[in-house]
């Protein structure tokens, strides 16, 4: 009986070691291919969730795969902390072994990233000197034209995802002490602008934008992502 228990323990350890080796190899291969696909300077970190890995591989379905890319530039816009979470990835083992992508599909791809405020400011109209987050909301400070005069002011804005990108819209304005009143309607005409970031990798389209201290936190989602349709 003791010998049988020892054998069972040894076999269990061997299976666990084999499973962990398999998942590391798969994660490295996914990271290598993503780096090559998007010309990334560094290979992204990849984590295939779930245990055991080998049963997922045999079944051909991976419930969650997280790809941590970090810095990324697309559409001439650089973002930080880019992370892509794939859910319910169908990848038949025979296709993976043969390097065929025609049957590789992710039910959902959710990408998140931070758009720094200096990137946002590049697309702002002239007169905007800084864009930052505050307890009162997202604000743009600068000097704006009012009746032919240059008036310093702080303009509070909202951000929203649109088909064209991230739209920035004034919602209130505070003129400097002693300065003239500035019409919000006029500012909306001259200060509304778009950061042309329409999507993140894997064709994920923007769905939500949340201002924070370090920039705009963007979320983008794609459904039924077919890997053979990627650029």
- The radius of gyration of the chain from alpha carbons, rounded to an integer in Å, stands at 25
Structure-token match 């991976």, residue found: 62
| pLDDT bracket for residue 138 (50, 70, 90) | very high
pLDDT per position as a tens digit, 23-61 = 555 556 665 666 666 666 666 777 776 555 555 565 567
Give the chain's largest Cα–Cα span.
95
DSSP element (H, E) containing 225: strand 215-226
CA distance 59 to 12: 20
Query: For residue 100, what is the DSSP state?
Result: -
Cβ-proximal residues to 202 (8 Å cutoff; 6+ apart), any chain: 84, 106, 109, 111, 222, 225, 230
Q: Nearest-CA neighbor of 66 among 96, 44, 51? A: 44
Question: How far apart are alpha carbons 198 and 209 in whole angstroms?
Answer: 12
pLDDT tens-place string over residues 60-118: 677 778 888 888 888 789 999 999 888 887 766 555 555 555 566 788 889 999 999 99
From the list 92, 93, 94, 91, the residue with the least C-alpha distance to 107 is: 91
DSSP 8-state assignment for residue 122: T
């Amino acid at each position: 009986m003791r010998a049988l228990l020892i054998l069972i323990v040894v076999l269990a350890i061997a299976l666990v070691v084999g499973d962990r080796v398999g998942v590391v190899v798969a994660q490295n291969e996914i990271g290598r291919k993503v780096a090559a696909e998007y010309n990334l300077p560094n290979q992204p970190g990849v984590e295939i969730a779930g245990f055991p890995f080998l049963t997922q591989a045999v079944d051909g379905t991976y419930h969650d795969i997280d790809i941590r890319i970090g810095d990324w530039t697309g559409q001439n816009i650089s973002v930080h902390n880019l992370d892509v979470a794939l859910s319910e990835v169908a990848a038949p083992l025979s296709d993976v072994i043969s390097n065929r992508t025609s049957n590789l599909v992710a039910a959902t791809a959710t990408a998140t990233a931070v758009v720094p405020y200096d990137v946002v400011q590049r697309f702002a109209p002239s007169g905007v000197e800084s864009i930052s987050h505050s307890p009162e909301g997202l604000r743009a400070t600068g000097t704006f034209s009012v009746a032919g005069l240059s008036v310093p002011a702080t303009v509070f804005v909202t951000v929203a995802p649109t088909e064209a990108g991230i739209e920035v819209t004034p919602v209130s304005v505070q003129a400097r002490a002693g300065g003239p009143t500035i019409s919000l309607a006029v500012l909306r005409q001259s200060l509304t602008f778009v950061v042309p970031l329409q999507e993140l990798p894997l064709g994920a389209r923007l769905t939500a934008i949340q201002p924070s201290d370090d920039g705009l936190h963007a979320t983008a989602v794609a459904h039924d992502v077919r890997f053979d349709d990627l650029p």
